[in-house]
Amino acid sequence: MLNSKTQNPAPNTLMEELEETKKKKKLSTGLIVGLIAILINVITVSVYMYQTNIMQKQQHASVWPHLEWTTSYNDAEGFMFVVKNNGIGPALVKNTSMRLAGEDITHLDTLCARIVGTSRFPHLKGFVNNRVIPPGEKIVLLKSENQKWSELLYYGLQKSDFTFEVCYESIYEEQWTCKGREVVKGSCH
């Protein structure tokens, strides 16, 4: 004989199992939705970090200075020794160094005396140390309009072992060294 108590537990147990299975499915669905949300957040943060990096590089490139120094000579204008900023940002000159035949030269007059035998001739001098050179601008370091002295200076420098280095930085403190038309990225010495 079946008692009503023994028949009732079976349907209750079945119902409880059904409810527990539903809870597991809800938990599994909730877990999956949560993991997808976390994955989307990680991807979003990665994209923002990448964009920030690109924007920072663009900012640095938008103020990139590029110095070059050259000497020139022609009959009409004479001799010129100039430092020019061909970049798109200001160049903050930190220091310079001149060498002639392996010896340090500290003044342009000394250079002139070594090249042409005297510094007593008509010429103009400038300086570049600790100056800011705006984009597209130049600083004339040495100029002579006298044809005789201009020719002696120009060809004397061409024949000599002359080196001139300008160490400069951008407004973001990135540093370069200009060695004529060659520019090397790195720290100033």
Return the half-sphere exposure (C-beta side, CA atoms, 13 A cut-off) of residue 130: 0
30-34, 108-112, 126-130: segment of lowest average pLDDT: 30-34
Query: Average pLDDT for residues 127-139, to the nearest whole number?
Result: 94
Domain ranges of the chain: 7-61, 67-185
Residue pointed to by tokens 């002696």: 152
Give the pLDDT score at 155: 94
Q: What is the pLDDT of residues 61-81, one digit of tens each?
A: 778 899 999 999 998 889 999
Q: What is the pLDDT of residues 139-188, one digit of tens each?
A: 999 999 999 999 999 999 999 999 999 999 999 999 999 999 888 988 77
d(CA 68, CA 177): 10
Give the pLDDT score at 39: 93
Q: Residue 132 in 3-state DSSP?
A: strand
pLDDT surpasses 70 at 8: no
Cβ distance 183 to 67 under 8 Å? Answer: yes
**Please, which pLDDT band fits residue 1 given cuts at 50, 70 and 90?**
very low
Of 138, 131, 144, 134, nearest in space to 68 by CA: 138
**Please, which pLDDT band fits residue 11 given cuts at 50, 70 and 90?**
low
Q: Residue 151 in 3-state DSSP?
A: helix
Global pTM? Answer: 0.71
CATH class of the domain defined by 67-185: mainly beta
Q: What is the pLDDT of residues 15-58, one digit of tens each?
A: 777 677 666 666 677 788 888 999 999 999 999 999 988 888 78
